[in-house]
Amino acid sequence: MAALEEEFTLSSVVLSAGPEGLLGVEQSDKTDQFLVTDSGRTVILYKVKAIGLGAPRLPSRPFLSAELELKFLTASERDRGEGLAESRLGLLGTLSEVSDQKPLGSWSVKQGQIITCPAVCNFQTGEYVVVHDNKVLRIWNNEDVNLDKVFKATLSAEVYRILSVQGTEPLVLFKEGAVRGLEALLADPQQKIETVISDEEVIKWTKFFVVFRHPVLIFITEKHGNYFAYVQMFNSRILTKYTLLLGQDENSVIKSFTASVDRKFISLMSLSSDGCIYETLIPIRPADPEKNQSLVKSLLLKAVVSGNARNGVALTALDQDHVAVLGSPLAASKECLSVWNIKFQTLQTSKELPQGTSGQLWYYGEHLFMLHGKSLTVIPYKCEVSSLAGALGKLKHSQDPGTHVVSHFVNWETPQGCGLGFQNSEQSRRILRRRKIEVSLQPEVPPSKQLLSTIMKDSEKHIEVEVRKFLALKQTPDFHTVIGDTVTGLLERCKAEPSFYPRNCLMQLIQTHVLSYSLCPDLMEIALKKKDVQLLQLCLQQFPDIPESVTCACLKIFLSIGDDSLQETDVNMESVFDYSINSVHDEKMEEQTEILQNGFNPEEDKCNNCDQELNKKPQDETKESTSCPVVQKRAALLNAILHSAYSETFLLPHLKDIPAQHITLFLKYLYFLYLKCSENATMTLPGIHPPTLNQIMDWICLLLDANFTVVVMMPEAKRLLINLYKLVKSQISVYSELNKIEVSFRELQKLNQEKNNRGLYSIEVLELF
Amino acid sequence: MGEFKVHRVRFFNYVPSGIRCVAYNNQSNRLAVSRTDGTVEIYNLSANYFQEKFFPGHESRATEALCWAEGQRLFSAGLNGEIMEYDLQALNIKYAMDAFGGPIWSMAASPSGSQLLVGCEDGSVKLFQITPDKIQFERNFDRQKSKRHFSWGGRILSLSWHPSGTHIAAGSIDYISVFDVKSGSAVHKMIVDRQYMGVSKRKCIVWGVAFLSDGTIISVDSAGKVQFWDSATGTLVKSHLIANADVQSIAVADQEDSFVVGTAEGTVFHFQLVPVTSNSSEKQWVRTKPFQHHTHDVRTVAHSPTALISGGTDTHLVFRPLMEKVEVKNYDAALRKITFPHRCLISCSKKRQLLLFQFAHHLELWRLGSTVATGKNGDTLPLSKNADHLLHLKTKGPENIICSCISPCGSWIAYSTVSRFFLYRLNYEHDNISLKRVSKMPAFLRSALQILFSEDSTKLFVASNQGALHIVQLSGGSFKHLHAFQPQSGTVEAMCLLAVSPDGNWLAASGTSAGVHVYNVKQLKLHCTVPAYNFPVTAMAIAPNTNNLVIAHSDQQVFEYSIPDKQYTDWSRTVQKQGFHHLWLQRDTPITHISFHPKRPMHILLHDAYMFCIIDKSLPLPNDKTLLYNPFPPTNESDVIRRRTAHAFKISKIYKPLLFMDLLDERTLVAVERPLDDIIAQLPPPIKKKKFGT
C-alpha cells in the first residue's frame, strides 16, 4: 500500500499565514519547484527536490529528508521582520539553486499593497503572474528582483483567479464570472469585462482542465446556499450553467470541492458539512448549452470527516481513484490527513496532524501541500494503481535492500511510542527532534508506561484499576502494542508467582478484541491449568486462531468439570436457549416432531431387532429427546466449542483422547441439539447466537469418526447410535425421495415442452419487412 | 417486401453422429474430426471454421484414432484393425492396411512425423514407417504379461510419444507402460490405482496418456483421475480426482504449459502450469478452468495454440478460445459450437412439392401438405392436407450416402455412396408411387461427390471424385452419357459444389480451394473461371434470365458474377466497395443454400443455420450504423421513414436451426428446421448428476 512518505516542512516566517491560511500553492514550470503565495504580500518559489520522490515507491530515507528541512527565520524574527522583508528582497531575489534547503526566490509587493490572487506560472513563457489589490496584474520572471519594477497592467475588473496549466495559456477568471485569456487581456488591459454571474453570487472554487487540447474551465458559485456550476469551453466560448442539487439533506453546506476529468465527464467531488463526499458528473460537452440544467450528486464516501469539525476541511482528488481528505475523523480528535480509495471505499493511509491545519490542501506532482501549524508541510505521496490487492493491503512491495523502512503501522516486536526510547540509532536527527517536540507536548509519563510498570509489582486490585483506567482512555495509536505488552507482562508474572491470577484484568483485556491466541499462547494454557471455564469460553469466542489441540483440551475440561463447580462460574449464556422451559406449547411441538423431524419418523422403523429394545422404553425416548442432557452452563461452554474454527485433520487425533463417557455425553447433547433443530422448518435453534445445523452435524461426524470403536462397545451409547443410524437412514430416504421428485418434475417439464412444441409440420404466414 | 406461406418442416429426423476423435494440424490450422459412423470431416479453422471436406463413413469402420503425420497426411485407425490414409485432394481413401493386431484402439505419429505407432486389442504396440506413398510395418514392441489377468496385456487404449522420440507411453487397462523406442522393450510399468472414491472398481482404464519433454507422463483414467507420473522412476507424482465418472481424453499444448481433459460428465477441464508463488521459478500444474459445454461424454479433446477443442457423444464440436491467448478480442474470440454439417442434406422438387431427406444409410421422400386458408403475419394456418411420408429408401451395403438429389419434376432420384451410384425413376399414379432403379450404370459413374438435375429434369450432372464432371441425358426411364469435363491436367481436386442455370446453358462447379469453373453446356466447353478467392465456397446458384452466378464464401462474403460478361456485376462491386454489415460478417454458420425468386429478379434468397435472408439489390446497402436485423414490424411509421430506414437485407430468424429453405413458388417457402431438443431426445441419456445428497 502506498503510504504517506515522511513529510518535510517548508516553514517560513515569510509566510504570513493567517487563520485563513495561504492564498495558494501553484506549480511552476519546473516540476520540482512550486510557487507559494501567502495571504499577505509575498510569493516564494520553493524547490522541493525530494529524495526518493523520483522513485516514489522507495521508502523515504529520513536522514536525507532531514537535510531537506528548510531553515527559515523563527516566528519571533518574523514579528520584527516587517521591515526586513524589503531589504531581504535583494538577497533572496538573487538566490537561484543555491541549495535544496533554501527557497529559490521570494518576491513581495510594496507595503500597503496586498496580493489577492495566488501567483501562477505561465507555462508557455516561464513567467510568473500575480494580481495584487484585485486589479493590478504583475508579470515577472526569475531574474526580476523587485516586483515594483516588473510589468504591470491595471485591469478594469476584479480578478478572482488566474488559472494556468501546462500546455495552454493562462486564463483570468474575474469575480463577475467572465473569463479571458491572458494574452488577449494584456493586449487591451482596460477592456470591458462583462458580468456573467448574478448579484450576490460568489465564486467559491474553480479549476482549469485541458481536455483533448481544449481548455475547459469549471467554477462553482454560491448564492443563498444554492450552488451553481459553470463550465466554460474556452475555445468554443460555450458557457453552461448547472444547478447543483444538494439532495435530501438541504441544509448541508459544501465545505470543499475538487474535480477530476475523464473523457466525457468532469467528476466534481464535494465534501459536505455532514462529512460525506459526494460526486457530481458534469458532461464536458453539454447537450444543450442554453438550458439551465440540474445536476444530482451521488454519495461517494460516507463520513470521512466529522461533520461538525471546528477546523476547516479540505478535499483533493489525487487521481481517478484516490482522494485526500484533510479534517478530523472524529468530532474531538486531532486533524488528520487521510487518503481514500474511492473505488474500493478503503482508507489507504492517514497521518495525524496534531498542530492543526488551515483546512487547505494542494496536490501537485506527487506532493501534498498543507499548512501544519505554522509551517507549510510537504508530504510526498504517489497513488498506486488502484487494485483490490492494494485496497486490501495485500500488495507486495519489492523492497530495495539497504533502505530503512519506517513503518507507519504498529510494529508488534518493538514497543515504540511508549516513550521508552527504543530509538534506532540510525534514525535521523530530524525524527528525534520531532519526537522531542511530541514528548514535550505531553510532559506526563504516558499511561501505557505507567501501566507496564504497575503490572510488574503491584497487587491484583491495583492492576485492575490501572487497566481499567488505561482502557477508559481514548484509543491511542500504540493501543495494540500496549495491550499486548500488558498481557505478556501479566502472564509472565502469573508464571512466576503461582498465586497471582488477575482474572478480571485478563477478561477485560480479552474483551478489547485486539488479542489473539498466537499473541499470548500462555493465556489459554494458564486458564486451562486453572480450569477457568469462563475465561476459556471468552477466549474461544474472541480468538480466531486457536489450535485444535487447545480446542480439544478446552472440550475435555468443559465435559469433565463437575456440575457443582459449574454453578459457581459466570458463563456467558448467550448461545443457549432455555430448553428446559417445557411449556404446554413445547409439548405440542413435541407431538409434531414425530412427524416433522426431516422425514425421520421414529414410529416407522424397519430395524426390527433394535426396535424391540427401543419399544421397551418408549417414554424414556421421548424424555431423552426433550430434556437437555447437560446443564445450561455446560451447554453454553460446549456451544463455544461448536462455534470455534478447526481443521478436521488436526482435530481428529486429539478427539481420540477424550474419555468414552464424555464422548457419549457430548454426542447426546449434539443429538439433542439436532432434534431441537429439526423442530422448526428453518432448521435453526432459537437463541441469539446458537450453533448451526452444519456445525452440529460436523461435530457428530467428527466424534464418531474419532471414537467409533470405543463408542460402539459402550452399552449406554447403544440407543444413541441406533438413533443416529436411523437419522442417517431417514436422511438417505429423504434424499432419494427428493431425487425421485426431481425426476418426476423433469418428466413433467418434458411433457410441458411437448405441449409447447408446435408439432412436426405446420404452414405459417411470414411477412418480411 | 413480401408475404409468404411457409411450410415449416420439423420431421427431418436427422441426428448427427457422435464425435469420436479430433486431430488438430498446426501447420495448416485444420482440424480433422471423426465420428462414430466412420465419417471424417476436415474443418479449416482459418476459413471461419468451415467444414471444407468430408469422407463418408462406413458401417464396419469405427474410427478409434485419428492423427496427422508427415505434415499434412491424415491417418485413421479403427476397430476393423486397419490403418487408413486419406487423400485430401481427391477426397477418397488412399489405402487401408491391416495391422494384424486385432482392433486398433490408439494411434500416435512420432514427433518427427515419420513413424506411426498403433496400439491394438491384443496388447501389442506396432511401429510403422511412413513412406512417401504408403506405410510399412517395422516392428512390434515387447509385450508384457499381465500379472493380474495371467494373460497377455490388455488392449492399448492410449499412446503418446516423448517429444524427443526416444520413448513412448502406452496406457492400457490398469497400467501404463513406458517403452524404449530403440530397443522396443518396456522400461517401466506403472500400475494405476483402481480405487474410485474408496470403492474398488473392477478395472481402471487408462483412456489417455501424454508424455511431456521433462519426462512427466500425464494419464487420465476411468476412475476420474488425472495423474502425473515420473517416467524416469516410474512413480506417481501427483493425482487429481476431477470427476465422478471417466476422464476420457487429454490433449497437451505444444508449449507444454497447458493441457485439457474431457470427462464423461461433459465437463472439460483446463490445467495450466503456473508458478507456485508470484515470482518463483518453480511451477506446478493447477486445474484452472472447468467448462461445461457438453451434456454427454467428451470423447476427445484437442489443444490448438489459441483454443480448446472438444467433441463427444452429444455431437457438438466446441471451440473454446483461450482468452489469454487471443490477441485481438474480436468475434473470433467467441465460443463456437458446430452441430450441423456445412452442406445441404435436403433437396426439393418444386413441381410436386416433394422433399428428399438424406440420412447416413437411407433416404426419405416426403410430400408437403397444403392449406386453403390465408392469414396475416405469424398465423399458423389450418392444414387441409398433412404432409405424407412417401418413400423410405434404404441403401445396400455398409457405406454411407455421400450425396443425393431429387429432380425438379420429382420423377428422378439419384444418390451415391463411395462405390456405387444409384438412379431411380419414380412414377406417380394418383396416390400410388412406384420406384424403378435404372440399372447398368456405366463404370465411370461409380462414386459422386455432388449430383444435380437441370431445371427441366432432362439432364443429370455428376461431380465424380476423380475431378471429372459428367453430363447425362435423361429421357423417359433411360439415360445417355453426353459428355465428361475432365479436370485440368495436373489437378486432381474434387468438385464439391455444382450449380446449373435455369435455362440449362451454364454449369458452375467449385472445388475445395481453387476457383469456380463455369462450363457452357451447349458447346460442352469451359466458359470461364471465376477469379480465385481466399476462402472456400459454401454455396452458389445461377440466377434465371441474367445468368448471374451468386457465390457465398465461408468468410460470409457474397459475390455476384455475370457469366455472359465474365465479370463481377456492378452490384457486387458496390457491395465490395462498401463492405458488408459487421453483424453479417460475424455470423458463425456458413450460407448453405441460395435461390432466386422467379418474378423478382432483384431478389436473392439465402440462408444459414440461424437466419433466412432476402437480399433486395434495388435497395441501399446497410452501413454499420443501421440496424441489420429488425424483428419487429414497422408500426405507425410514415412511408418516408420506412423508405429511409429500409435496406437491402431482409432477415428472418424465426426458423432455427434452419437446415434448408427454398422457394416452392412465388408465394410459398419451405423451411426445414431441426430443433436441438429433438436431437438431444434421441441421444442416450447423459450421466445423471445428483442434485440432492452426496
> Mind giving me the DSSP string for B371-433?
------TTPEEPPSB--EEEEEEEPSSSBPP-EEEE-TTSSEEEEE-SS-EEEEEEEEETTEE
pLDDT of B645 over the 60 cut? yes
Are A493 and A500 in contact by the 8 Å Cβ rule? The answer is yes
How, if at all, do strands A214-223 and B225-230 pair? unpaired
Q: What is the DSSP letter of A386?
A: P
Which residues of A are less than 8 Å from B384 in CB distance? none
Strand partners, B126: B118, B140
pLDDT single digits (tens) A525-565: 888 988 888 899 999 988 888 899 999 999 999 999 888 88
State residue A334 phi and psi, 5-degree precision: -75, 165
% residues pLDDT > 70 (chain A): 71
Q: In what order do the strands lie in the sheet with A24-27?
A: A24-27, A33-37, A42-47, A105-108
Strand partners, A711: none
pLDDT of A121 over the 50 cut? yes
Interior CA angle at B417 toward B412 and B418, to 5°? 145
Closest chain A residue to the Cα of B673, Cα to Cα: A760
CB atoms near residue B427 (< 10 Å): 11
- Is residue B356 helix, strand or coil? strand
Return the higher-pLDDT residue of A592 and B330.
B330
DSSP string, A540-600: HHH-S---HHHHHHHHHHHHHS-HHHHHHS----TT---TT---HHHHHHHHHHHHHGGG-
pLDDT of A14 over the 70 cut? no
Closest chain A residue to the Cα of B654, Cα to Cα: A766
Examine residue A686 and say whether the peptide bond preceding it is cis (omega within 30 degrees of 0): no
Q: Is A440 left (phi over 0), alpha (psi -120 to 50) or beta?
A: alpha
> Residue B73: which of B34, B28, B22 has the closest Cα?
B28
Virtual CA dihedral for B652, B656, B660, B663, nearest 10 degrees? -30
Which residues of B are less than 8 Å from A742 in CB distance? 691-692
Are B22 and B302 in contact by the 8 Å Cβ rule? The answer is yes
3-state secondary structure B611-630: CEEEEECCCCCCCCCCCCCC
Q: Which of A737, A763, A767, A768 to mutate to test the interface with B (most CBs of B within 10 A)?
A: A763
pLDDT single digits (tens) A408-457: 333 343 333 333 333 343 333 333 333 333 434 444 556 667 777 777 77
C-alpha radius of gyration, chain A, whole number: 37
**Could you tell me the sign of the dihedral formed by the alpha carbons of B339, B342, B347, B353, in that order?**
positive
pLDDT of A721 over the 50 cut? yes
pLDDT at A425: 39
pLDDT at A241: 84
pLDDT single digits (tens) A637-681: 999 999 988 888 888 889 988 998 899 999 999 988 888 888 877
- Is residue A194 helix, strand or coil? coil
Min Cα separation B690/chain A (Å)? 7
pLDDT at A423: 37
- Among A396, A732, A763, whose Cβ lies nearest the Cβ of B6? A763
Quick check: A753 and B633 CB within 8 A? no
Which residues of A are less than 8 Å from B383 in CB distance? 761-763
pLDDT of A112 over the 70 cut? yes
Q: What is the mean pLDDT of residues A233-246?
A: 78
Quick check: A763 and B377 CB within 8 A? no
Q: Which of A742, A760, A764, A767 to mutate to test the interface with B (most CBs of B within 10 A)?
A: A764
Closest chain B residue to the Cα of A740, Cα to Cα: B692
A48: its cell numbers: 522541493
pLDDT single digits (tens) A598-624: 444 444 444 444 444 444 444 444 444
Closest chain B residue to the Cα of A762, Cα to Cα: B8
DSSP string, B326-351: -SS-SGGGS-EEE-S-SS--EEEETT
Are B265 and B275 in contact by the 8 Å Cβ rule? The answer is no
C-alpha radius of gyration, chain B, whole number: 27
Are B173 and B206 in contact by the 8 Å Cβ rule? The answer is yes
State residue B676 phi and psi, 5-degree precision: -65, -35
> Residue A533: which of A643, A631, A630, A633 has the closest Cα?
A633
Which residues of A are less than 8 Å from B674 in CB distance? none
Q: CB burial class (10 A; 0-12, 13-18, 19+) of residue A697?
A: middle
Are A364 and A50 in contact by the 8 Å Cβ rule? The answer is no
Quick check: B692 and A742 CB within 8 A? yes
Alpha-carbon distance of B258 to A65, in angstroms, equals: 50
Report how far apart the first and last C-alpha atoms of chain A are (Å, whole number): 60
To 10 degrees, what angle do helices A648-655 and A693-713 make?
40
Q: What is the DSSP letter of A629?
A: S
A437: its cell numbers: 517536540
% residues pLDDT > 90 (chain B): 62
| Residue carrying C-alpha cell 493562462 | A170
User: Which residues have CB under 8 Å from A598's CB, separation 6+?
Assistant: A678, A683, A730, A731, A734
pLDDT at A458: 76
pLDDT of A237 over the 90 cut? no
B308: its cell numbers: 480448446
pLDDT single digits (tens) A406-420: 333 333 433 333 333
Are A612 and A677 in contact by the 8 Å Cβ rule? The answer is no
Are B608 and B587 in contact by the 8 Å Cβ rule? The answer is yes
Q: Which of residues 265-284 of B touch A (CB under 8 A)?
A: 278
**Could you tell me the sign of the dihedral formed by the alpha carbons of A713, A715, A716, A719, in that order?**
positive
pLDDT at B19: 95
User: Which residues have CB under 8 Å from B95's CB, separation 6+?
Assistant: B84, B85, B134
Q: What is the mean pLDDT of residues A308-312?
A: 63
B629 CB within 8 Å of a chain A CB? no
**Could you tell me the sign of the dihedral formed by the alpha carbons of A618, A624, A626, A627, in that order?**
positive
Q: CB burial class (10 A; 0-12, 13-18, 19+) of residue A114?
A: middle
B654 CB within 8 Å of a chain A CB? yes
Alpha-carbon distance of A575 to A590, in angstroms, equals: 22
Q: In what order do the strands lie in the sheet with B225-230?
A: B206-211, B216-221, B225-230, B235-241
From the centroid of its chain, how far is CA B12?
Answer: 18
A672: its cell numbers: 439433542
Min Cα separation B566/chain A (Å)? 33
Are B311 and B261 in contact by the 8 Å Cβ rule? The answer is no
Closest chain A residue to the Cα of B376, Cα to Cα: A765
Are B92 and B71 in contact by the 8 Å Cβ rule? The answer is no
**Whole-Å CA distances, A345 to A265, A391, A396, A593, A727:** 21, 8, 20, 48, 48
Min Cα separation A766/chain B (Å)? 5
Return the higher-pLDDT residue of A301 and A78.
A301
Least confident interval from B88-97, B141-150, B409-418, B568-577: B141-150
Interface A-B: count of C-beta contacts within 8 A = 94
pLDDT single digits (tens) B200-213: 667 889 999 999 99
Alpha-carbon distance of B65 to B68, in angstroms, equals: 10
A739: its cell numbers: 431425487
pLDDT of B368 over the 80 cut? yes
Are A575 and A639 in contact by the 8 Å Cβ rule? The answer is yes
Alpha-carbon distance of B78 to A544, in angstroms, equals: 61
Return the higher-pLDDT residue of A62 and A35.
A35
